[in-house]
């Protein structure tokens, strides 16, 4: 049985194809269209999924769309009515789009599909899931658990902003929900906006900025903006927010509460900005932990599955794992809306069609390597067209040679096999560096990623070595857990260095792997497994053999504001547009100095 899952029209559009309960392919549209967070109909992503499986639309049994647009329309209408006549301008702006596009979604989806020239589907095959059910399904079905509690948190989907649920065998049931406008995701996004970053994109920056600050404003947030109950349920005081009726997240009362207007992107970051970031992060963690405790008590489950955009907050996830009541935690790597495509397809297969589910040892996401791969012929054709100079390094030699380059502080673009699904690059579309280097963090930010100097980098570590470097000994294949660097790797910090404030903290060497040690000694860990990514595993082994260090810096293969690369040509262009030294595509190696 073939099910095609689609998510589109809000944030990250994506497609996924499931055959007999097995995920065959999944990809985000942004990688093909090269528009970050592209929310258009994911034509190219769907075409890719069909081609990967070697099928046409005629063979597809069901097409699942990840949410119900009419319910969202209902929420918009009711929200506008509740606040009327405020919000009229945004109402006037939004409604025509809704009437034209979103209500007529079924025919739109069918039309989009049939324009792909890969067979045809009728409207009867198109089904609509519930937004949070799709998220919950994406968290439970691929998880390694027979049974688990499920927690979904995001900005908003239809009405729900936070949902709890239960996964058991073939069924995922939603238990409780918190409804719009009360939303933990929106609270975080409001601060993202207020701190001068882009909503639905800059949340990572807030999380990365938080360790530079102190949670000074957490009491203010808890006293005024959000009322958190003991069980983790909450309400926002909507008089401080503007997202129901306006085109901004926060309003003048919010500004007054924190003593000034939102930061403009061009203004420098101040200590207050960092304290605000830390404060909203602390509140978010507190809410999530309380919610986990009550969910644990209500369901009596040992396992927890997480999805929804808030589940990308890997600092909070790390605390849930360490301090929360659940024994095991599994997080959908495409926790945002893109993952809804996988969720709705799996829900149709298991819940609706009663297909049996056999949980795997690790999980069914296959390392998230679900996107397109490119063979040597295509790689060389792309490079030849650009007039690139390259050499082909056969077999084992490749890993030795690249490990040597890395040990010499070279920055390496590592393009291998199938592209990752979800927001993280996990060793197939990655930029790699030596974590022992004291200049690597600054070099990567300023001359390769072209992004803010404060932003931290993540380590990729051999699974078998993770506890040698970090205070953690569990799988984190999707870079979704943050844990501290081991005490014995940390370095004495002088009194003068310890007294540094704000962004100045960046310049202190805190461990023997400084490039991936954040200012609070934390690291966002990716464990690398031989069975899901043997080539990356071998590279790490070769690096360890050469240097004694089983860790590499792993950052996504893109520059700021661009999607991660998809094709060999994307990789070449990104390589050339930055100060990367070496590019490896399969076994083909380019050196910048030879170009």
Residues that bind another protein (CB under 8 A): 266, 386-387, 439, 443, 445-447, 449-453, 559-561, 576-578, 592, 595
339-347 vs 131-140: helix axis angle to the nearest 10? 80
Nearest 5°: the CA angle 3, 157, 318 is: 90
In angstroms, give the least distance from the CB of 590 to another protein: 11
The two tokens of residue 22 are 């097995």
Alpha carbon distance 342, 504 (integer Å): 42
Transcribe 370-384 into DSSP letters. -S----HHHHHHHHH
In angstroms, give the least distance from the CB of 36 to another protein: 12
Please, which residue, 235 or 385, has the CB nearer to another protein? 385
In angstroms, give the least distance from the CB of 312 to another protein: 23
The two tokens of residue 556 are 């996504």
141 exposed, middle or buried (CB, 10 Å; 0-12, 13-18, 19+)?
buried
How far CA 102 is from CA of 38, 45, 64, 70, 247, in Å, comes to: 16, 20, 15, 8, 20
Please, which residue, 24 or 388, has the CB nearer to another protein? 388
Please, which residue, 125 or 455, has the CB nearer to another protein? 455
In angstroms, give the least distance from the CB of 576 to another protein: 5
Other C-beta atoms closer than 10 Å to the C-beta of 489 total 17
In angstroms, give the least distance from the CB of 76 to another protein: 31
> Helices in 488-529 by DSSP H: which ranges?
495-498
Say if residues 283 and 227 touch (Cβ distance below 8 Å).
no
Please, which residue, 436 or 538, has the CB nearer to another protein? 436
Alpha carbon distance 432, 429 (integer Å): 10
Please, which residue, 266 or 361, has the CB nearer to another protein? 266
Please, which residue, 290 or 451, has the CB nearer to another protein? 451
Distance of CA 252 to the CA centre of its chain: 31
In angstroms, give the least distance from the CB of 58 to another protein: 36
How far CA 589 is from CA of 377, 404, 581, 585, 593, in Å, comes to: 14, 13, 11, 6, 12
Please, which residue, 2 or 565, has the CB nearer to another protein? 565
Please, which residue, 175 or 576, has the CB nearer to another protein? 576
Residue 157 pairs in a beta bridge with: 160
In angstroms, give the least distance from the CB of 106 to another protein: 36
Please, which residue, 289 or 443, has the CB nearer to another protein? 443
Picking from 517, 322, 539, 553, the residue whose alpha carbon sits closest to that of residue 425 is 553
Say if residues 338 and 421 touch (Cβ distance below 8 Å).
yes
Q: How far apart are the first and last CA of the chain?
A: 49
Please, which residue, 253 or 447, has the CB nearer to another protein? 447
Alpha carbon distance 477, 461 (integer Å): 10
471 exposed, middle or buried (CB, 10 Å; 0-12, 13-18, 19+)?
middle
In angstroms, give the least distance from the CB of 408 to another protein: 15
Phi, psi angle pair for 18, to nearest 5°:
-120, 125
Please, which residue, 515 or 542, has the CB nearer to another protein? 515
Residue bearing tokens 């939303």: 183
């Amino acid at each position: 049985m073939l099910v095609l899952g689609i998510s589109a029209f809000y944030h990250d559009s994506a497609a996924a194809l499931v055959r007999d309960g097995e995920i065959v392919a999944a990809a985000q549209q942004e990688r093909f269209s090269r528009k970050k967070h592209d929310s258009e109909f994911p034509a190219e992503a769907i075409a890719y999924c069909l081609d990967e499986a070697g099928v046409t639309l005629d063979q597809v049994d069901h097409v699942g769309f990840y949410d119900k647009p009419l319910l969202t329309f209902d929420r918009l209408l009711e929200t506008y009515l509740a606040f009327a006549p405020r919000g009229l301008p945004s109402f006037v702006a939004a409604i025509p789009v809704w009437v034209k596009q979103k209500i007529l979604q079924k025919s739109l989806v069918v039309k989009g599909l049939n324009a792909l020239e890969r067979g045809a589907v009728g409207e009867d095959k198109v089904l609509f899931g519930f937004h949070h059910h799709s998220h919950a399904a994406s968290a439970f079905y691929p998880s390694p658990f027979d049974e688990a509690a499920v927690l979904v948190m995001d900005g908003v989907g239809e009405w729900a902003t936070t949902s709890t649920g239960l996964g058991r065998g073939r069924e995922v049931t939603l238990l409780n929900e918190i409804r719009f406008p009360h939303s933990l995701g929106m609270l975080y996004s409001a601060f993202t906006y207020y701190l001068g970053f882009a909503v639905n994109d800059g949340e990572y920056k807030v999380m990365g900025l938080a360790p530079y600050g102190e949670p000074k404003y957490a009491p203010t947030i808890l006293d005024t903006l959000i009322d958190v109950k003991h069980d983790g349920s909450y309400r926002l005081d909507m008089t401080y927010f503007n997202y129901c009726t306006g085109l901004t997240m926060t309003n003048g009362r919010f500004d007054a509460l924190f003593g000034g207007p939102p930061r403009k992107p061009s203004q420098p970051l101040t200590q207050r900005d960092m304290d605000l970031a830390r404060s909203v992060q602390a509140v978010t963690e507190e809410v999530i932990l309380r919610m986990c405790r009550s969910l644990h008590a209500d369901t009596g489950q040992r396992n927890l599955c997480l999805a929804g955009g808030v589940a990308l907050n890997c600092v909070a996830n790390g605390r849930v794992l360490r301090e929360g009541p659940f024994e095991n935690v599994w997080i959908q790597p495409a926790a945002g809306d893109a993952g809804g495509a996988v969720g709705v397809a799996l829900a149709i297969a298991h819940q609706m069609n009663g297909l049996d589910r056999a949980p795997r040892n690790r999980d069914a996401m296959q390392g998230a390597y679900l996107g397109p791969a490119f063979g040597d012929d295509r790689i060389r054709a792309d490079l030849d067209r650009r007039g690139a100079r390259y050499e082909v390094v056969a077999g084992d030699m490749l890993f030795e040679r690249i490990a040597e380059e890395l040990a010499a502080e070279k920055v390496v673009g590592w393009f291998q096999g199938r592209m990752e699904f979800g927001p993280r690059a996990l060793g197939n579309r990655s930029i790699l560096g030596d974590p022992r280097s004291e200049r690597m963090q600054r070099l990567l930010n300023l001359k390769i990623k072209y992004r803010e100097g404060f932003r931290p980098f993540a380590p990729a570590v051999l699974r078998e070595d993770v506890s040698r470097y970090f205070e953690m000994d569990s799988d984190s294949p999707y870079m979704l857990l943050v844990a501290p660097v081991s005490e014995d790797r940390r370095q004495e910090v002088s009194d003068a260095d310890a007294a540094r404030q704000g962004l100045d903290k960046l310049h202190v060497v805190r461990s023997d792997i400084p490039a991936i040690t954040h200012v609070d000694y934390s690291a966002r860990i990716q464990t690398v497994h031989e069975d899901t990514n043997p080539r990356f595993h071998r590279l790490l082994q070769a690096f360890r053999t050469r240097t004694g260090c089983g860790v590499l810096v792993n950052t996504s293969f893109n520059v700021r504001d661009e999607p991660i690369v998809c094709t060999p040509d994307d990789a070449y262009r990104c390589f050339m547009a930055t100060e990367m030294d070496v590019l490896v595509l399969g076994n083909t190696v380019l050196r910048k100095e030879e170009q």
